[in-house]
Amino acid sequence: MKIRAHLTLIAIATLLPVVVFSAIAVNKLMDAERRSALKNLQETARLTALIVDRELQSAQAALLVLGTSKSLLERDLRAFHQEAEAADRGMGAWTMLQDMTGRQLINTAMPYGSKLPESDFTNQVDQVFRKQTTVISNVFKSPITHGYVTTVSIPVVLDNGQSYVLAETFASTYFSRVFAQSRIPANWTVAIIDTNGNFVARNQQSEKMAGAPARL
């Protein structure tokens, strides 16, 4: 065997274990990073879901309190409008009161006495009374703001026989504060998707993507 060939074999025999070990080490490091990224993703999704649930449950609790209002019982809608405004959850959220036909009686997105749009909420009202429980809607376009919203609605049946649906309406932009609390990394996209598979809100381009199909 020539000396050059012999030296080459020695070099290969020496380097091969190092190369193999390096490849194994890189793979292990990549696996560890992948597991860490997946764990962080799961934790972020869990935290975001918990915050969203907290917001919706808090809205439901506020509606249940509003539903016991003396002003509503006496059908003093001006006073009830003021109470509902005080209970609103801040920018991007407002309260709506509907009768059994789905007609809006008040909407705190507009001053009391404003002419409210003739929107067909009949199906939503029927669903709330049929289930006799809180109903969270899919995303739809608001006839007042013309932006995409979702609602938390409860049935209200008063002692005098009057029946209403009381709802808290959330604009897609409202959930930006939810995403902020989740401390989502800037290069991640996290979204809330309704049961029809459409975006309710996203941490990026929320107004543009709200209502659009989520392609998973």
pLDDT at 35 over 80: no
pLDDT bin (cut points 50, 70, 90) of residue 52 is: confident
**Fold type of domain 1-216:** Beta-Lactamase (3.30.450)
Angle at 52 between CA 47 and CA 55, to 5 degrees: 125
- Which amino acid, residue 156? V
Which pLDDT score, from 0 to 100, does residue 126 have?
Answer: 85
Which pLDDT score, from 0 to 100, does residue 27 have?
Answer: 55
The helix-helix angle for 3-66 and 77-87 (nearest 10°) equals: 150
CB 97 within 8 A of CB 166: yes
Extents of the domains making up the chain: 1-216
d(CA 28, CA 31): 5
Q: Where is average pLDDT lowest: 32-41, 132-141, 153-162, 190-199?
A: 32-41
Residue 153's φ and ψ, nearest 5 degrees, are -120, 140
pTM comes to 0.76
Percent of the chain clearing pLDDT 70 (strictly above): 79
DSSP 175: G
Q: What average pLDDT does this structure show over 87-93?
A: 86
Predicted confidence (pLDDT) per residue in 146-160, tens digit: 889 999 999 999 888
pLDDT at 195 over 70: yes
Which pLDDT score, from 0 to 100, does residue 28 have?
Answer: 52
pLDDT at 174 over 60: yes
pLDDT bin (cut points 50, 70, 90) of residue 8 is: very low
CB 125 within 8 A of CB 166: no
Which pLDDT score, from 0 to 100, does residue 151 have?
Answer: 92
CB 142 within 8 A of CB 149: yes
Q: What average pLDDT does this structure show over 194-214?
A: 84
What's the Cα-to-Cα distance from 3 to each of 7, 10, 12, 15, rounded to whole Å?
6, 11, 14, 18
Pairing of β 140-141 and β 199-202:
unpaired
Q: Is the pLDDT higher at 19 or at 96?
A: 96
Q: Which of 28-37, 69-78, 113-122 has the highest mean pLDDT?
A: 69-78
